Structure 1
Amino acid sequence: MNITIDQKGASKVAVVDSDEIVIGEVQDALDLMASVSYNNEAYKLLIRKENLTDDFFELRTKLAGDILQKFTNYGVKLAIVGDFSGYDSKSLRDFIYECNQGKQFFFLADQAEALAALHSLG
């Protein structure tokens, strides 16, 4: 796993680059947040959907809710980048829509769009 920092003014976004699953369970998310905040003083994170376990996108597992709650608790903003059109779950589509209306989590199609959304949060 490689983490780079995209900085715009005082806003820092940690961009995760990996060919493997980075977040497979809640503890992985906590470890990643701790590492990024401690090593880079970044409280915004961009990760690709391929770096998340498939269970994250199965809302009945409650993994997404548990992980996103940890991000909320620790004040870390998150953008997940990828193509979400292949999911036919109405509840997942609704969940993604609701997240994108807020200022904490984003599910976006490309990295540039995700970086812009995260940097706009100040």
Structure 2
Amino acid sequence: MTVTRIGVETVLHCAADGPVLTGEQDALDIIGEAWGAQASAVVLPAERLDPSFFALSSGFLGAFVAKFVNYRMPLAVVGDISAHLERSEPLRALRRETNQGRQFWLLDTADEVAARF
């Protein structure tokens, strides 16, 4: 994990080679790490998330992201999720909607992260 400054945010960047995240406790653990690093936002590689995260019917995405929203910590999931998007119109719609917001984003590249902060 690394911490950088992007605009006004101190951002915790999670490593791509960490364990696969599978539940709400993982979200709380990352939030705790961010607090410990005095970070105010998190960038998480998409490949760290269990594939069920992208199946909206599983409820995993909603529960995971809700932890970040509740603790008012912006979360950017960054990486190629095109395979998931191809299979799910609801996920495409969610991505369009959330990428217009200020709390949670599904982004393709790290360059897009800087534009959000």
- Cα separation, 2, equivalents of 1:101 and 1:4: 26
Other structure's SS at 2:3 match? strand
Structure 1 residues 51 and 8: alpha-carbon distance in aligned structure 2, compared to 1, 3 A threshold: same
Given that 2:98 and 2:105 are in contact with CA atoms closer than 8 Å, whether structure 1 keeps it comes out as yes
Q: Structure 1 regions of 5+ residues with no counterpart? A: none
Partner of 1:69: 66
- 1:76-119: per-residue Cα shift (whole Å, max 9, x none)? 100011112222200111111111011001111111211331x2
- Cα separation, 2, equivalents of 1:8 and 1:79: 13
Runs of 4 or more consecutive aligned structure 1 residues displaced over 4 Å after TM superposition = none
Other structure's SS at 1:112 match? helix
TM-score of the pair, normalised by structure 2: 0.90
Identity of aligned residues (%): 34
Structure 1 residues 115 and 17: alpha-carbon distance in aligned structure 2, compared to 1, 3 A threshold: farther
Given that 1:13 and 1:42 are in contact with CA atoms closer than 8 Å, whether structure 2 keeps it comes out as yes
Partner of 2:100: 101
Other structure's SS at 2:43 match? strand
Alignment of 1:1-122 (within 5 A): 3-8=1-6, 10-37=8-35, 39-87=36-84, 88-117=87-116, 119=117
| Cα displacement (A) at 1:21 | 3.4
Moved more, 75-84 or 108-117: 108-117
- Cα separation, 1, equivalents of 2:18 and 2:28: 17
How many residue pairs are counted as aligned between the two chains?
A: 115
Cα-Cα RMSD: 1.4
TM-score of the pair, normalised by structure 1: 0.87
